[in-house]
Amino acid sequence: MTIMKLTQYSILLLTGIALFLSACTKTDIVDSEVTYLPKIDVVGGSSIQLACDATSFTDPGASATEGGVDVALTTSIHGNYFGSSAVDGPDEYVVNYSAVNKDGIPGAAMRTILWPECNGDLVTSIAGMYSMTVERNGNMDPQYKNNKYFFMKDLGGGQYQLSDAIGGYYDKGRGYGPDYAATGFVVTANDIPNNDFTHDGTIGVGAFGGNLIMTAFSVNPATRTINFTTDWDFGYVFVVTLTQIDL
């Protein structure tokens, strides 16, 4: 009796295995197609530094291919601190190259371009490139010391535009990037040797917003430094020391 039960069980097990294998051998035919991601080759280096007295710049460009075939390339340019959409004067620029393949999948590459501002003598001109050290509400950690680069851009007529009126505190010190720089502030030099500057006006602090005003600004030609203080209505006071550097 026991043998009979085992035999029936074995037959049922073998039948189940056969049905499973039969199902597994059925082949469903599925159409497939290879897609190639956009490949972007940037001509020249990923970063370029110009001379401060450069008069123009022509981007070396880039090329985009999909499976070895050329595809359309889109190029866009943005000045981080002075906002131009073309490389047309002192600033730090980002050039973005992008392309899309036939399936709508994007590809991208980028290049940075540094166009420095020529250094003034801090007697007749405060233009130039500086490192930044900044304290906020009396506190200054190492990450906020000697960061680069600060632009003091000569607008002509004794006016100078600052790349970041809080000395790169969030942009460089925190590493948040240029979207968190306090851009757009302009100082007028009435008499540099006598530290006579006009700094009226209010700006925001990048993506944070708010109102930032300047309360002090002075120059020391002997140490090649500029010191200024800005007061943000979010409850913070920034004391910035700029030290002129040669690139």
Fold of domain 128-244: Lipocalin (2.40.128)
Q: What is the CATH number of domain 39-115?
A: 2.60.40
Q: How confident is the model at residue 30 (pLDDT cuts 50, 70, 90)?
A: low
The confidence score (pLDDT) of residue 96 equals: 97
Residue range 107-146, pLDDT digits in tens: 999 999 999 999 999 999 999 999 999 999 999 999 999 9
Q: Which helix (H) or strand (E) holds 19?
A: helix 2-24
The model carries a pTM of 0.84
List every span in the chain annotated with CATH 2.40.128.220: 128-244
Q: Is the pLDDT score of 9 beyond 60?
A: no
The confidence score (pLDDT) of residue 32 equals: 62
- Neighbouring residues of 80: CB distance < 8 A, sequence distance ≥ 6: 91, 92, 93, 94, 178, 181
CB 62 within 8 Å of CB 40: yes
The confidence score (pLDDT) of residue 31 equals: 56
* Beta strand residue intervals within the chain, DSSP E: 39-42, 47-49, 62-66, 69-70, 74-79, 91-100, 106-115, 128-136, 147-156, 159-162, 186-191, 196-198, 203-205, 209-220, 225-232, 236-244
Cα dihedral angle (48, 52, 56, 59), rounded to 10 degrees? 0
Q: Is the dihedral of CA 140, 146, 149, 154 positive or negative?
A: positive
Q: Is the pLDDT score of 2 beyond 60?
A: no
List every span in the chain annotated with CATH 2.60.40: 39-115
Q: Is the pLDDT score of 12 beyond 60?
A: no
